[in-house]
């Protein structure tokens, strides 16, 4: 036994988990405001779904999937991404039958066998949204705007939006052919992966990071010059909407993204603080995917974004995210049984309304008070023989040091005044210390 989590995975420990919960709830709020509803799909699927959905030419399918036979020999794969599973569920449950469009979101772990580095993990977590059933450019705009709004709603500045079009069934084949011919003349300069890509999807050479391929890619014909009139009009409409709403973007004709299902719009949002793995989110339109996984012709567009990268980017901006809130009440046990037992019974009662902590082991009242003080708890209830005999609790306001004696029946009301009922006054915004 190695005693270590598998390479490329991370434990999210108490202390860090509160930041995750905070970001996730911010994302959920934003998604609900845009009218997206949550879908939860399994973390594993039939391998074939990703082969057909994500595509044979992609790095994901060629070398990054966690694929294994189950006990009956069926090939299963831990999901490397969320769009193909959503497409599968959309078809399986005939979600198209309930009227269009269908707006879905998901949050959860994804698995890719990649070389781990800062911002790149073998298990990472994504938030994603998919808008199915409309081919309108306004849908592409909504998805890009949603991603930008979610990221800035989580507190991120410094976002750069890149947009491109990869064409459609009408204009892409001609461009791919021209590109293939161009690349074949320079095939010796290409890396082995790109030589393979040349056959399946030559556009992928455009975003290869190997220096030789980048050199070749520099002078490659631009897809922007090869879009058919419909694709061009679609793109102009999307870009116009981005301009109208003040979302800064750059058209990057080298942006093709690593998944085969895209048609027309592709986009990525980058963050300068992230280093080599600078894509904090990305997505695009996929008008053939639903058919490719066996459904009726249904256009779609979506994005996903890595939660780890959102958190890393926030960190580089100096954001201080909310931690776990302190308890509202601490029970201090004065003496042994029956006080100890009474304190635990009382703690359970108070926990219907308050976040309450109680001592397990025999410790002096002084030590318990000091420990309570360190947690920042606003109120302490002392439970000792005297209190049990009198039916009145000793309640100490930790901020003023004021101590009072409160009849049992009035305890909750008294605590509510001192501790507050909920977290209404808790700091719910990310704070930035610069």
Single residue of 128, 137, 167, 327 touching ligand HAM by CB under 6 A: 128
For the segment 64-83, give every residue that binds ligand HAM (CB under 6 A). Answer: 81-83
Count of positions on this chain that bind ligand HAM (CB under 6 A): 27
Single residue of 45, 130, 168, 252 touching ligand HAM by CB under 6 A: 130
> Residue 255 Cβ, how far from ligand HAM at the closest point, in Å?
11
Q: What is the DSSP string of 133-156?
A: S---HHHHHHHHHHHHHHHHHTT-
Which of residues 88 and 124 has its CB atom nearest to ligand HAM in the complex? 124
In angstroms, the CA 334 to CA 343 distance is 9
Residue 172 near ligand HAM by CB under 6 A: no
Q: Which of 403, 358, 366 lies closest to 383, judged by CA?
A: 358
Identify the helix (H) or strand (E) that includes residue 373: helix 365-375
Angle at the Cα of 362 from the Cα atoms of 361 and 366, rounded to 5 degrees: 115
> Residue 323 Cβ, how far from ligand HAM at the closest point, in Å?
23
Contact string (CB under 6 A) for ligand HAM, positions 227-266, x = contact: -------------------------------xx-------
Q: Give the CA dihedral 377, 383, 387, 392, nearest 10 degrees.
A: 40
Identify the helix (H) or strand (E) that includes residue 284: strand 279-285
> Residue 128 Cβ, how far from ligand HAM at the closest point, in Å?
5
Which of residues 295 and 306 has its CB atom nearest to ligand HAM in the complex? 306
Single residue of 41, 134, 304, 328 touching ligand HAM by CB under 6 A: 304
For the segment 85-124, give every residue that binds ligand HAM (CB under 6 A). Answer: 112, 114, 119-121, 124
Residues in contact with 332: Cβ distance below 8 Å, sequence separation at least 6, in sequence order: 343, 359, 365, 368, 369, 372, 380, 381, 382, 383
Which of residues 8 and 335 has its CB atom nearest to ligand HAM in the complex? 8
> Residue 152 Cβ, how far from ligand HAM at the closest point, in Å?
16
Residue 298 near ligand HAM by CB under 6 A: no
In angstroms, the CA 190 to CA 302 distance is 31
Q: Which of 218, 262, 326 lies closest to 58, judged by CA?
A: 262
| Chain residues that interact with ligand HAM, rule: CB under 6 A | 81-83, 112, 114, 119-121, 124, 126, 128, 130, 258-259, 279-284, 302-306, 308-309
């Amino acid at each position: 036994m190695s005693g270590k989590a598998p390479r490329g995975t991370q434990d999210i420990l108490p202390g860090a988990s509160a930041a995750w919960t905070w970001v996730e709830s911010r994302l959920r709020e934003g998604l609900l405001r845009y009218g997206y509803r949550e879908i939860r799909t399994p973390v594993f699927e039939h391998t074939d779904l990703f082969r057909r959905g994500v595509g044979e030419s992609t790095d994901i399918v060629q070398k990054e999937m966690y694929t294994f036979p189950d006990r009956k020999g069926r090939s299963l794969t831990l999901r490397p991404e969320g769009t193909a599973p959503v497409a599968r569920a959309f078809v399986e449950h005939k979600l198209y039958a309930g009227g269009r469009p269908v707006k879905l979101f998901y949050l959860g772990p994804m698995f890719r066998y990649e070389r781990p580095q800062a911002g790149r993990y073998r298990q990472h977590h994504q938030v994603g949204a998919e808008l199915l059933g409309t081919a309108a450019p306004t849908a592409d705009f909504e998805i890009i705007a949603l991603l930008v709004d979610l990221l800035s709603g989580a507190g991120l500045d410094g976002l750069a939006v890149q947009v491109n079009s990869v064409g459609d069934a009408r204009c892409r084949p001609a461009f791919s052919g021209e590109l293939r011919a161009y690349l074949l003349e320079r095939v010796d300069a290409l890396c082995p992966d790109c030589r393979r890509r040349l056959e399946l999807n030559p556009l992928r050479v455009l975003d290869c990071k190997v220096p030789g391929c980048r050199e070749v890619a520099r002078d490659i014909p631009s897809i922007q010059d090869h879009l058919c009139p419909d694709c061009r009009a679609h793109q102009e409409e999307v870009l116009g909407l981005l301009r109208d709403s003040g979302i800064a973007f750059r058209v990057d004709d080298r942006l093709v993204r690593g998944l085969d299902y895209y048609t027309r719009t592709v986009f990525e949002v980058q963050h300068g603080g992230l280093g080599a793995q600078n894509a904090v989110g990305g997505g695009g339109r996929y008008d053939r995917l639903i058919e490719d996984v066996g459904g009726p012709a249904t256009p779609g567009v979506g994005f996903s974004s890595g939660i780890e990268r959102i958190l890393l980017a926030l960190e580089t901006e100096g954001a201080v995210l909310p931690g776990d809130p302190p308890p509202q009440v601490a029970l201090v046990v004065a003496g042994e049984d029956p006080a100890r037992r009474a304190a635990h019974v009382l703690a359970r009662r108070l926990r219907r309304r308050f976040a309450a902590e109680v001592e397990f082991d025999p410790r002096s009242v002084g030590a318990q008070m000091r420990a309570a003080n360190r947690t920042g708890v606003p109120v302490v209830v002392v439970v000792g023989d005297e209190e049990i005999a009198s039916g009145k609790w000793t309640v100490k306001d930790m901020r003023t040091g004021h101590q009072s004696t409160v009849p049992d029946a009035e305890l909750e009301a008294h605590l509510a005044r001192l501790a507050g009922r909920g977290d209404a006054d808790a700091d719910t915004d990310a704070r930035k210390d610069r």
